[in-house]
Amino acid sequence: MNISKVKDAYIENIVKDEYFPVSYEELEQEAKKKMSVGGFGYVRSGAGGEVTLRENQESFAKYSIVPRVLRDVSNIDTSITLFGKTYPHPFLLAPVGMLKLAHEEAELAVSKAAAAYQVPFVQSTVSSYSIEEVAEVSGNSPKWFQLYWSNNKEVSFNMVKRAEEAGYEAIVLTVDTVMMGWREEDMKNRFSPLRQGVGKANYEQDSVFLSSLDSQDSESIIQGILDNIHHPSLNWTHVVELKERTSLPILLKGILSTDDARLAVENGVDGVIVSNHGGRQLDGVIAAIDALPLIVEEIKGEIPVLFDSGIRRGSDIVKALALGAEAVFIGRPFVYGLAAAGQKGVEKVIGNFVQDTKVSIALSGVSCVKDLKSIRLIKS
């Protein structure tokens, strides 16, 4: 894309009569006005004392870009290729469950907004609309499915089968949620969206899950979800078995250890996502951006390394890509956009990230994503 078009969009943002929040901080405050206390607290908060939640962002600030100048950056190519598919931008929308907490149209609105930009939408297992409902409204746009393992593993396999049949392009197995993190904000608010049934849509339409219940009333479905969603026995043998049950690429989300990254390669995993779940699981763990270069060095290009946790602006995306990530995930910002203005709000957030990322890449002194790995970062 010609960088002058980005400049035009920047000017347009300034002169428009109707202002939409641009910064992450403004988005968060706008979402707070629209969401319930419990819903906003659930999305905003982290585990424990929220040390990791803060560190995810503060650690980004410790990395400084050393830009190059006097290079032709009039045409910027932000496209990336993952698993044989080319996408126009170097970011995906992270899996976030129970999006009805933010807006009634939830995943339907988000998937349509993502489709407008051909940005892959990663749908959560605990979504408010089912795989099939999302696929129907978003057409052939790129979509991945995030899997929370079930104690009844046949439920997991069937959900993956449904996603594959619906045209989803990859499976993201989250591996850092074998049990719920210690989330003090939810306890203070006495808030459990799972118990409220906000994330039950995929289970309600899963024949294997329903056949495992004695009754299929709403209360039994919710209890069945609670019985399945925590899975402390999950281990590498399940990952291998999952690989055997689908032809889709399998990525593991929640990798922070170089030892686990190596085991992922050895067990035939197709990609890893460096993530601490946005600071929502174990408090006090390494900031995701600090773990990223260690894992990139361990894997050495054998499989793609993607990044999640703490992305707030285009310069954050540039830093993660410069440290070796093939692509990044955006989470809370698009949820806040959803809360602020539904599908249009998500589109605005995506559009701002597109523009901010292109400007940040150009001002770093390169013209395409792959060349960002040549940009030097200094850590203070």
Q: Which helix (H) or strand (E) is 287 found in, with range?
A: none
Cα 378–59–252 angle (5° rounding)? 105
Q: Quick check: is 238 catalytic?
A: no
What is 292-320 written as a DSSP string?
HHHHHHHHTTSS-EEE-S---SHHHHHHH
Q: 188 to each of 49, 55, 257, how far by Cα in Å?
A: 13, 23, 32
Q: Are 39 and 101 in contact (CB under 8 A)?
A: yes
- Please, which residues have CB within 8 angstroms of residue 239's CB and are 6 or more apart in sequence? 173, 250, 252, 267, 269
Rg of the chain, C-alpha, whole Å = 20
Tell me which H or E stretch contains 46.
none
DSSP code string of 251-268: EEEEE--HHHHHHHHHTT
Burial annotation 17-49 (CB, 10 A radius, 16+ → b, else e): eeebbeebeebbebbbebbeebbbbbbbbbbbe
Q: Which of 89, 103, 231, 277 is catalytic?
A: 277
Q: In sequence order, what are the beta bridge partners of 32?
A: none
Phi, psi (deg, nearest 5) at residue 157: -65, -35
CA 122-183-212 angle, to 5 degrees, is: 60
Cα angle 194, 197, 198; round to 5: 80
Q: Which active-site residues does the annotation give? A: 277
